[in-house]
Structure 1
Amino acid sequence: MPTRALVTLPSILDNDFYKFTMQQGVVRLFQGASARYRFINRGKHSFPPGFAEALRASVDAMAELRLSREEKRFLQVTCPYLDPVYLDFLDGYRYNPEEVHIEQHGDQLQVHIEGLWYRTILWEVPIMSLICELYYIMQNENRISNDEVIQNIRQKIENYRSLGVNIAEFGTRRRYSYEVHRLVVQALRQYGEGSFVGTSNVHMAMAHQTKPIGTHAHEWFMFHAARYGFKMANAMGLENWVRVFRGDLGIALSDTYTTDVFFKQFDKMFSKLFDGVRHDSGDPLQFADKVIAHYQQLGIDPVSKTIIFSDALNYDKVARIAEHCQGRIGMSFGIGTNFTNDAGPKAMNIVIKMTEAHPQDGEWTEVVKLSDEHGKYTGSEQVINLSKTILNID
C-alpha cells in the first residue's frame, strides 16, 4: 500500500460557486471577522498510514494556484454581480497553507482551519475533494473505466430528461477524483441538452461552457448567529445577502435552524424578492408542501417560485419529488455524489463545517447547524440545546 501520494488541483476556480459569492459578501461586510472549521468523519472511515503527510503536501501545493487572465474574464462576462473590486481581490488571492492544521492519530484524521473568514472560506470544498481522491489512491480503490463513467452518466441524464426536469451537477466536495468529475461534466454537457443546466464547480463551468450555479451555504447563516444571535440569524443573513447582490442569486437556503424557524422570518418582502429556496435536509415532499403553503398564505403564486432540491438525490427520489411538485411550484435538482462518486468504490461520507466565528468586534463564539434531520446537526450538544431553547424548537 503506497504511503506517499500527491494530488494537485488544476485551478483556483476548482471550487463550488457559492464559496466565491459568499467570499464577496464577506469581503464587503465582514473584513475583520475570523472563522474556524473542522473536518467531521461522518462515515467513520479509516485512513491509511501516511495519509496526513500526503494531504499536507497536496494542501501546500495549493499555494501556487492563482486566477488566470482568462478565468477573470470568464467571471466578468458570466457573473456580472461579482463586482470589479472583488474580482481584483480574487486576482491577488493566494491560499495560505498555514491556515490548515492536519494531524493523524492511528487511522483517524484531524483537519482544522483557522484564519480571517474572507480568506479561509475557500478551503472547505477543495480540501474535501483532496481527502476523497487521496483516500481512493492510497487504499488502491480502483474505479470503472472512463467509457463506463461516461455511459453511466449518459444513462442517468437521459433518464432525468425523460422526467422533464432541470438538473445541475453539485458533486465537487465528494468526487472520486478530478478526472472522474471532468468526465461527468463532459458527458452531462454532451448528452444532457434540455435537462442539464450547469454545475456548482466554477472551473468545470468554464471548461465545458456551461453555467456556474450556487448562492450561499449554511456557514453564511451560522456566522450571522454568532454576530447577531440565533433569533436574528436568518433575517440578517437574508438582509445582508440582498445588500450585496441586490436581487441576483436569489435562492435562499432554508434549513440552517430548521425550515419552520426560517419561514417565520421569510416574510412577504423576502418571499417576493428571492426567487425560491433550496432544500437540503428532511422529507422533500413535506418541505415542498410547506413552501407552497407559505407562498399561498402570502398571496404569492408558487408556480412563479422555485425549489432547488439538493439532498442525496438519485433517480427514484427525483422522480417522486417531480411527480409531487408538477404544476404546483417550479423545481430544479442538484445532483452531487450520485454523479461524481458513482465509480465503483463506496462514496465517502465526510464534511468540513464552520465550528466557531469571531466577528470583528466580538469574541470567539461556537456556531451550530440544526438542519431538518438530527443526523445533520453540527456543533456541541450544549450549544445545540441552547439554540433550540432560544428558537423554541422541540
Structure 2
Amino acid sequence: MLPKTAVHLTSILDNDFYKFTMQCAVAQLFPNAKARYAFINRGNHDFPPGFGIALRQAVDAIATLRLCKEEKQFLLSNCPYLSPVYLDLLEGYQYDPTEVDIRQEGTNLQIHVEGYWYRAILWEVPLLALVSELYYELNDLPRDPDEEVSKRTANKIISYNKLGVTIAEFGTRRRHSYKVHRLVMEALKQHRGESFVGTSNVHFSMLYQMKPIGTHAHEWFMFHAAKYGFKLANALGLENWVEVYRGDLGIALSDTYTTDVFFRSFDKKFGKLFDGVRHDSGDPLSFATKTIEHYKRLGINPLSKTIIFSDALNYGKVIPIAEFCKGKIGFSFGIGTNFTNDAGVKPMNIVMKLVEAFPEKNTWIPVVKLSDETGKYTGDPAMIGLAKQLLQLT
C-alpha cells in the first residue's frame, strides 16, 4: 500500500502570474466559455506504481486552499490593474478536484482537466509542479544537498550580474520541489545585484516582496482561434487584452501560430501599445532580427521596446543573445528549469496544454499551437493541417 505523500501546495498563489491575469480577463470577457486541458509527457517518463493514487491525494488536498486577507492585500497593492471584482472572485475561489481526471495504466500517466475556462485555467501549473515533485519522491531519486543548490544558484546570478543582464525566475511548472524552489529564490534574492528583477510565481513574489512578472500564455490566442478563427486569433487576442488592461501588462506572446503570422497582425497600433514581445520557441537570434526589422518598418525605435527571451535558457544561451541585442533593442530573460530543477537529477520534460475550447453557445473545438519550432506543435493533426492551410504556412 502506497504511503500518504507529504507533497502538497501551501498557497493558492503558488502559481504563475499569467494564470491569474488571464483568469481575470476570461472572467470579464468569456465567463461562459469552457476548456479542456491534457497532460503531455514529452520526455516519455515512466511513472512508478501508485503514482496516480498519490497525485490524486495531492490534487484533492488543493481544494482546501483559499486566498487569505494578506494575499489579497498583496495583490491589491502590487497589481492595481487586477479589478476589485476579480479579486473578490479569487477570494471566493476554490479548486474543484472533480475537474481533474487522473488515470494510470502501467507506467503511463494521463491527466485531463475540464470545466469553465475561468476556473480550469488555474490547474495547469500546480498539476505540473506536483507531478514533478512526486516523480522524484516516489522514485526515491536523491538530489544535491541544500548548500550545493544554493551555492550553484548564487554563482549563476552573480555571473548574470557580471554580464549586465536582467533575469526573472520562471520555473514553477518544472521545479524539482517546493523546497528547492524556495532555496533558489533565497539565493537569487540574496545575490540579486542589478540582475534579478522578479519571479513569475505569485506566492514567492509575496514571500520575498517583489512584483510578480507575466502577462498571457499560448492558450489565450488558442481560445481566440476557436472562437473567431485562426486568421483573427492574434489580432482579437491582442485587442481583448488591451480592452481589459488598458496598456498594463504589455508584453505580447508572439509564437502561438508562428512569429511571421503574428507580425501580420502586430501593426503600428499594437506596436505602440505593447511594451514588447516574448520569445518562446525557435532560433532566438532570428526572432530578434525579425522583431527589430518589424519595429523599424512600423517607424518605432526598437530600443524603446523589449524582447523577453524565455525558451529553455541557461547562461551559455543567454550570452550570445545579449551580445546580439545590445544596442539594437531592449531585452531581458526569463529562466525556468535551469534555476528550479538544477539539483543533481534530470529535469522532467512535461507540459499541459489546452486541447479543446467551448466558446459560448458553440461546440467543443480542438485547438492547436504551431510555434516557431515544428517539434513543439501540439494539438489534433487534422486541425494543425487546417491552421497551416488557412494561415498559408508551408
TM range (shorter): over 0.9
| 1:352 to 2:359 alignment | no
Query: After superposition, what is the alpha-carbon deviation per residue over 1:250-298, rounded to whole angstroms, capped at 9, x for unaligned?
Result: 0000000000000000000000000000000000000000000000011
Q: Cα distance, 1:3 vs. partner?
A: 6.0
Aligned pairs (5 A) from 1:31-110? 31-110=31-110
Q: Cα distance, 1:5 vs. partner?
A: 2.1
Q: Cα distance, 1:2 vs. partner?
A: 5.9
Partner residue, 1:213: 213
CA distance in 2, matches of 1:253, 1:192: 26
Partner residue, 2:341: 341
Partner residue, 2:155: 155
Q: What amino acid sits opposite 1:204 in the alignment?
A: F
Partner residue, 1:256: 256
Runs of 4+ that moved beyond 6 A: none
Q: What amino acid sits opposite 1:350 in the alignment?
A: I
| TM-score between the two structures when normalised by the length of structure 2 | 0.99
Native 8 Å contact 1:261 1:391 kept in 2: yes
Q: What amino acid sits opposite 2:62 in the alignment?
A: M
Query: After superposition, what is the alpha-carbon deviation per residue over 1:131-163, rounded to whole angstroms, capped at 9, x for unaligned?
Result: 000000000011111111110000000111111
| 1:176 to 2:152 alignment | no
Comparing 181-190 with 34-43, greater Cα deviation is found at 181-190
Q: What amino acid sits opposite 1:65 in the alignment?
A: L
Aligned length: 394
SS across alignment from 1:173: helix
CA distance in 2, matches of 1:64, 1:117: 20
CA distance in 1, matches of 2:6, 2:29: 36
CA distance in 1, matches of 2:340, 2:209: 18
Native 8 Å contact 1:250 1:274 kept in 2: yes
Query: After superposition, what is the alpha-carbon deviation per residue over 1:201-231, rounded to whole angstroms, capped at 9, x for unaligned?
Result: 0000000111200000000000000000000
| 1:270 to 2:270 alignment | yes
Q: What amino acid sits opposite 1:254 in the alignment?
A: S
Aligned pairs (5 A) from 1:175-254? 175-254=175-254
CA distance in 2, matches of 1:122, 1:212: 16
CA distance in 1, matches of 2:168, 2:220: 22
Native 8 Å contact 1:3 1:138 kept in 2: no
CA distance in 2, matches of 1:130, 1:65: 15
| 1:364 to 2:364 alignment | yes
Q: Cα distance, 1:381 vs. partner?
A: 1.1
CA distance in 2, matches of 1:207, 1:380: 40
CA distance in 2, matches of 1:3, 1:378: 35
CA distance in 1, matches of 2:245, 2:273: 11
CA distance in 2, matches of 1:197, 1:37: 31
Extract unaligned runs of 5+ from structure 2. Answer: none
SS across alignment from 1:111: strand
CA distance in 1, matches of 2:80, 2:58: 32
CA distance in 1, matches of 2:114, 2:30: 16
CA distance in 1, matches of 2:243, 2:3: 48
Query: After superposition, what is the alpha-carbon deviation per residue over 1:301-332, rounded to whole angstroms, capped at 9, x for unaligned?
Result: 00000000000001011001000000100000
CA distance in 2, matches of 1:133, 1:94: 22
SS across alignment from 1:162: helix
Query: After superposition, what is the alpha-carbon deviation per residue over 1:74-120, rounded to whole angstroms, capped at 9, x for unaligned?
Result: 00000000010000000000000000000001000000000000000
Partner residue, 1:288: 288
SS across alignment from 1:110: strand
CA distance in 2, matches of 1:155, 1:38: 37
CA distance in 2, matches of 1:198, 1:338: 16
Query: After superposition, what is the alpha-carbon deviation per residue over 1:38-68, rounded to whole angstroms, capped at 9, x for unaligned?
Result: 0000000000000000000000000000000
Q: Percent identity?
A: 66
Q: Cα distance, 1:6 vs. partner?
A: 3.8
CA distance in 2, matches of 1:223, 1:193: 39
Native 8 Å contact 1:6 1:134 kept in 2: no
| TM-score between the two structures when normalised by the length of structure 1 | 0.99
Native 8 Å contact 1:6 1:54 kept in 2: no
